[in-house]
Amino acid sequence: MGRIGTIINRKGKQDAKKAKEFTKLGRYIMVAAREGGADPEYNAALKSAIEKAKAANMPNDNIDRAVKKGAGESDGAIFTELTYEGYGPGGVAVLVECLTDNTNRTAADVRSYFVKGKGNLGTNGCVSFMFDHKGVLVIDKIDGMDDETVEMAAIEAGAEDISVEDDHYEIYTEIGDFAEVREGLSQAGYEFSMAELRYLPQTMTKLSDEEDVKFMNKLIDLLEDNDDVQNVYHNWEE
């Protein structure tokens, strides 16, 4: 089984929160444009951010406004990237990536969520070693697709690994190879339902206690509902 099953399983739940999702994606695009320029052809981070926004059906007008804000063509807040690490109930490792215009607010919010979820906010480095930072590309299977052909295309494009699932392919890359692999597969005619950099857990943790499961779900929901939180990674085997 691929390493991102839980990401895909939770996607339906996240799709019900479009307004919040667009707010987060807008921030992601602004920061990418501010740091690398407004042309996605010369800014791999911005290209990834725009692709992610389009996959979430974010309107083009919203995308364009976010790019202009980030590039300084209109006034916009200055966002800081932060990563928090900690443990959920049962010792589940949790990584939280944030983009915020108020670091004190975000720190207080994240800390309170860990408390409410019966977890503990830790120090930098306490759980990040349990994750691999990789590029992830997902191609949904369509009629006529041949597993071997897709695998060969991924290998030729420079992918590190590929997992063939029932209804999709999961392709993994080193961080530095991500843009090249994505471009190679795109030129070969493949479209992606996910194309982004992610933290992937090296090992998974099971929760057998119902109370732990309840509070782990609560922790994830609280984090994902916060506009400052961009991504939540964990090693809980749901």
**How would residue 3 be classed by pLDDT, with cut points 50, 70 and 90?**
low
Q: What is the largest CA-CA distance in the chain?
A: 52
Question: What residues does each domain of the chain span?
Answer: 5-70
Read off the pLDDT of each residue in 86-101 and give the average, rounded to a whole number. 95
- Flag whether pLDDT at 14 surpasses 50: no
Closest of 129, 143, 141, 144 to residue 201, by C-alpha: 129
CB-based contact 167:150 (threshold 8 Å)? no
State the Cα–Cα distance between residues 88 and 126, nearest whole angstrom. Answer: 13
* Range with the poorest average pLDDT among 51-65, 97-111, 209-223: 51-65
Q: Give pLDDT tens digits for 35-46.
A: 888 888 888 888
Q: Give pLDDT tens digits for 164-199.
A: 998 999 999 999 999 899 999 999 999 988 888 899
- Flag whether pLDDT at 12 surpasses 80: no
Give me the phi and psi of 120, to 5 degrees please.
-140, 125
pLDDT at 201: 95
CATH code for residues 5-70? 1.10.10.200
What is the pTM for the complete model shown? 0.81
Q: What is the mean pLDDT of the chain?
A: 88
